[in-house]
Amino acid sequence: MNLIKYYGDLVGRQGLIVAGLNSNKKSLETFTAAHNYLTDYESLRVAIDDRPEKAVADLALKEYQFSLLALASGQYRYAFGGLRLFFELMLSVVRFSAHEIDLRMWLCDSKDINWESLKNLDSGVFSVNFMRAFNPAFAEFGRQFSAISESVYRECSEYVHGNAGTHTLLPSEIAFDETAHLAWCEKSAAMRQAIVFAFAARYLNYVSPEGMRRMESVVVDVVGYLSPVQMVYGKSCEA
């Protein structure tokens, strides 16, 4: 077997997958939206430009781009895995902002990121205690975004752990699959909601007026219906 030709042919199939994506209107629209979320996340980063947790956000966005590449290449299982890692890292940004010692330990490979600590009902990033510490007005809404986060994380984990059902949902060979593609995009959109909420609750009380202005479009677009956001961006939310 000519291994170079074999793997070259597999890479060539990825071009056919991109073509299939391009010819499917709904899939192309959702992929474009998911790609454009990068701009939203860049807008959120203004809140942490001068903070140590920015390094984690940089890594998270790199993983998101790799996940997008895997999605466009038909590597769906790995796209879901990359998406889950991105989500863990982005929520860890928020948690690390309140636990800098954990951030320092993580950066020197002496502490792991733990999903249980991120979702913890008493101390996690959506908990009442955490929200009250930084922006009490958001505390009453944390539970609904915690539920969104838990659900989408669990769904991505099914692909990471190779649950039996995922083998029937994914194509058996490298090929474009609309169902898998749209499932990834739905999870990406749900994560965007949770991430924007978490960043707004944690940082809006602490960013400069210019930072608030730069965050405005994404915060209002995603969670502008929440009363604390309307208090901050009232005119924009009513428009």
* Structural tokens at position 211: 């930072």
The whole-number pLDDT of residue 11 equals: 84
The residue length of the chain stands at 239
Non-local (6+) Cβ contacts of 77 within 8 A are 159, 160, 162, 166, 170
What's the pLDDT at 239?
45
4 φ, ψ to 5°?
Answer: -65, -45
Instruction: Per-residue pLDDT tens, the chain, 239 aa: give them.
Output: 888 998 888 888 888 889 889 999 999 999 999 999 999 999 999 999 999 999 999 999 999 999 999 999 999 999 999 999 999 999 999 999 999 999 999 999 999 999 999 999 999 999 999 999 999 999 999 999 999 999 999 999 999 999 999 999 999 888 999 999 999 999 999 999 999 999 999 999 999 999 999 999 999 999 999 999 999 998 555 54
User: Residue 158's Cα: distance from chain center in Å?
Assistant: 17
Q: How many CB atoms lie within 10 A of CB 31?
A: 22
Distance of CA 227 to the CA centre of its chain: 23
End-to-end CA distance of the chain: 63
Structural contact between residues 219 and 200, judged by C-beta atoms closer than 8 angstroms: yes
Q: Determine whether 208 is exposed, middle or buried from the number of CB atoms within 10 Å of its CB (0-12, 13-18, 19+).
A: exposed
pLDDT at 97: 97
How far apart CA 72 and CA 181 sit, in angstroms, is 9
**pTM, 2 dp:** 0.95
